[in-house]
Amino acid sequence: MQVEIDRKSGFCFGVQNAVEIAERALLEGEMVYSLGSIVHNDMEVNRLKRLGLVSINHDEFLKLRDCKILIRAHGEPPETYLAAIKNNITIIEATCPIVKKLQTRIKDTWNKSGDNSIQLVIFGKPGHAEVIGLLGQIANKGILVSGPADLSKIDFTSPVHLFSQTTMSVTDYNKLIEAIREKYQQNGFTNPDKMFKASRTICGQVSNREPHLKEFASNHDVIIFVSGNESSNGKMLFQVCKSVNRETYFVTDETDLDLKWFEGKKSVGVCGATSTPKWLIKNISNTIAKI
C-alpha cells in the first residue's frame, strides 16, 4: 500500500511563527503563559506544555501580575493589551501578521466612516478567538454572520462593508457575497455594489489549500485528514476532502486509525489543517505504512 503525505499540509506561516516565538521564549528559562491554546491542536499544545508553556484563559490572565504572556496567532482585542499594561505584564507578540493587518483594516474602515453610517459585517465563527479580536477593534459594534441564515441581522437599506475571518472557506464567502447582493436587489438597488463592498481577507495559504486538497484527495483511495477537534480550519478542509473522496477520515492521532479503512486499498493520502504540525502528520503516515 502506497502512502503519500500532502506536501502543502501542516502549519501555515502564522501558526509556525507563533510556535517558533514560543519556543525561543521558553529557551530563556522563564515562565511563559499562552493566552488560550497557542494552536488548535492538542498534540502540539501538549508538546509545548512539556517544554514549559502554560495555557491560561482570560479570567486567569486578569489575575496575573509581573509575568510574560504570549499572544497567539489568532490575535486579541485592545482590552487585553490595556490589562497587560495595568498589571505590568510583558506581551510576547505572536499575532499572525495577516490577522494583525486585518485588525488594522477593520479599525481604519470604521474610523473613516465618520458617523459610522456603514454597517461593518464580519463573516466568521461565533466565539472564535480571531473573531473576538476583530470585533474588539471596533468596540464590538460590528455585525457577525456565519452564513446566509444570519442576513436578517443586516439592514439592506444602508451600506455594508464585509470582511472575513482569515480561515473561512472561500466558497462559502463567495456564496455569502452573492446572497447579500441579491438582498440589495430585492430592496430595489439595481446596482448593489454602490451600497456594498466585500474585502477579500481570507488568508491565501488557506484559500489555496482548497483546490489543492480537492486534487490531492481525488488521487487516492483513502484520505486520512489530521486535525485537532477544535480547529475550524480543520473542519472546513476535512469537508473539502470529503466532498471529492467519500473515503476521507478525520483523526487527531494514531489511536484514531481503524484498520478496516485500509482493507483492499492501494493508495492512502495523509493531509491536515493549517494548525496541524508536520511531525504529527509524519507519525500517522509512518503508522499507516506499517500496516
Average pLDDT over residues 229-257: 95
Select which of 20, 79, 130, 247 is catalytic: 130
Q: What is the architecture of the domain spanning 2-9+207-289?
A: 3-Layer(aba) Sandwich (3.40)
Model confidence over 23-79: pLDDT tens digits?
999 998 888 999 999 999 999 999 999 999 999 999 999 999 999 999 999 999 999
Lowest mean pLDDT among 116-120, 162-166, 208-212: 116-120
pLDDT at 79: 97
pTM of the predicted protein model: 0.89
User: Is 182 labeled as catalytic in the residue annotation?
Assistant: no
Residue 120 contacts residue 138 (beta carbons within 8 Å): yes
Question: 13-96, what's its fold?
Answer: Rossmann fold (3.40.50)
Classify residue 79 as left (phi > 0), alpha (psi -120 to 50) or beta. alpha
Contacts of 187 (CB under 8 A, 6+ apart): 156, 157
Q: What is the DSSP letter of 213?
A: H
pLDDT at 39: 92
Could you state, in order of their start, the residue ranges of all structural domains in the chain? 2-9+207-289, 13-96, 98-165+168-201
CATH entry 1.20.120.80 includes domain 98-165+168-201: no
Judge if 13-96 and 98-165+168-201 fold alike in CATH terms.
Answer: no
What whole-number distance in Å separates Cα of residue 24 and Cα of residue 104? 27
Question: Whole-number mean pLDDT of the chain?
Answer: 95
The string over 255-285, giving b where at least 16 C-beta atoms fall within 10 Å of a residue's C-beta and e elsewhere, is eebeeebbeeeeebbbbbbbbbbeebbebbb
pLDDT at 115: 65
What whole-number distance in Å separates Cα of residue 146 and Cα of residue 124? 5
Model confidence over 75-133: pLDDT tens digits?
999 999 999 999 999 999 999 999 999 999 999 999 988 766 799 999 999 999 999 99
pLDDT of 159 above 80:
yes
pLDDT of 232 above 80:
yes
pLDDT at 205: 85
